[in-house]
């Protein structure tokens, strides 16, 4: 009964009562990424069930992506672009996050034989990971044209990630909302992906936090989003939509 595309509407019900203070009662609130494991686990299970049912029924087209950040970005940018009369991700796609790039080849092998599958991956087209994805696709009837790499979008670094579809200022806005304050002037002036540039100056961070900030601040974000960001995502959606059997 959970719609993965509207995960932000999920509410957590937490029993705050203890033996020493039984009067605290129950609290209903938005689900926090910082919630304890017992609270988050049922939601993870429900989302997994929703996705597995879609796969079991074999309805529609399936887009494999590396992780939850991709899932959120594709949903939110599609919603906005379509709302202003531009191209978003085709509604026939079901977006399936597989956890990491290492999980993509086995998922392609598992699903490619019986379902219509497209794939979006980060990184260099010549990378070892992409070679494994291509091998799995070739062995299981998935066309090489169904594999889209983020770097094929105009303006994205040759080893870029989905975060590089955002302008630097747009992504740093999400980073400040989701992680901590960081200004563009603090980054090294290189052609490296934005995630690497950030991690070079402040260390590793949870890439899902800026993505979820886009959901919680979506109205504010899209009021000032740059044309650069919209153009890159629209170009990506045109590429992904073109992987459908009818190319529409």
pLDDT digits (tens, 9 = 90+) for 210-225: 998 999 999 999 999 9
Q: What is the CA radius of gyration of the chain?
A: 19
Identify the CA nearest to 98 among candidates 77, 125, 124, 129.
129
11-15 and 26-30 as β-strands: parallel, antiparallel, unpaired?
A: antiparallel
Which pLDDT belongs to residue 56? 52
- pLDDT recorded at residue 49: 46
Which residue carries 């017992």 as its tokens? 38
The answer to whether the CB of 113 falls within 8 A of the CB of 119 is no
**By mean pLDDT, which of 37-41, 194-198, 202-206, 241-245 is the weakest?**
37-41
Q: 117: which residues sit within 8 A by CB, 6+ positions away? A: 61, 62, 63, 64, 108, 111, 142, 146
Q: Is 161 helix (H, G, I), strand (E, B) or coil?
A: coil
Domain spans, the chain? 1-57, 60-241
User: How many angstroms separate the Cα of 190 from the Cα of each of 156, 170, 184, 202, 209?
Assistant: 13, 18, 12, 16, 24
Most confidently modeled range among 54-68, 133-147, 176-190: 176-190
The segment with the largest mean pLDDT, out of 15-24, 99-108, 146-155, is 146-155
Task: Specify the DSSP element, H or E, that contains 222.
Answer: helix 218-224
Indicate if the pLDDT at residue 34 is higher than 50.
no
pLDDT of residue 19 exceeding 60, the answer is yes
Average pLDDT value over all residues in the chain = 81
Based on the number of CB atoms within 10 Å of its own CB, is 226 exposed (0-12), middle (13-18) or buried (19 or more)?
middle
Cα torsion 108, 113, 114, 120 to 10°: value is 30
Write down how long the chain is: 248
Provide the pLDDT confidence category of residue 55 given band limits of 50, 70 and 90.
low
The reported pLDDT for the residue numbered 248 is 43
Model confidence over 170-213: pLDDT tens digits? 999 999 999 999 999 999 888 899 999 999 999 999 998 999 89
């Amino acid at each position: 009964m959970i719609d993965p595309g509207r995960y932000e509407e999920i509410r957590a019900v937490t029993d705050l009562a203890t033996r020493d203070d039984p009067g605290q009662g129950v609290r209903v609130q938005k689900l926090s990424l910082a919630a304890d494991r017992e609270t988050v686990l049922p939601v993870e299970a429900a989302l997994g069930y929703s996705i597995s049912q879609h796969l079991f029924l074999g309805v529609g087209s399936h887009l494999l992506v590396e992780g939850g950040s991709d899932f959120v970005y594709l949903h939110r940018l599609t919603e906005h672009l379509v709302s202003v009369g531009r191209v978003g991700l085709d509604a026939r796609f079901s977006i399936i996050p597989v956890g990491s790039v290492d999980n993509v080849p086995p998922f392609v092998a598992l699903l490619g034989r019986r379902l219509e599958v497209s794939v979006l991956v980060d990184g260099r087209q010549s990378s070892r990971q992409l070679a494994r994805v291509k091998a799995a696709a070739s062995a299981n009837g998935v066309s090489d044209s169904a594999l889209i790499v983020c770097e094929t979008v105009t303006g994205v670094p040759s080893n870029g990630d989905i975060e590089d579809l955002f302008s630097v200022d747009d992504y740093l806005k999400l980073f400040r909302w989701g992680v901590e304050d960081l200004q563009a002037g603090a980054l090294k002036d290189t052609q490296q992906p934005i995630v690497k540039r950030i991690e070079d100056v402040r260390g590793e961070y949870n890439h899902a936090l800026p993505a979820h900030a886009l959901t919680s601040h979506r109205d504010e974000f899209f009021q000032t989003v740059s044309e650069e960001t919209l153009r890159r995502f629209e170009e990506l959606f045109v590429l992904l939509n073109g992987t459908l059997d009818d190319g529409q």
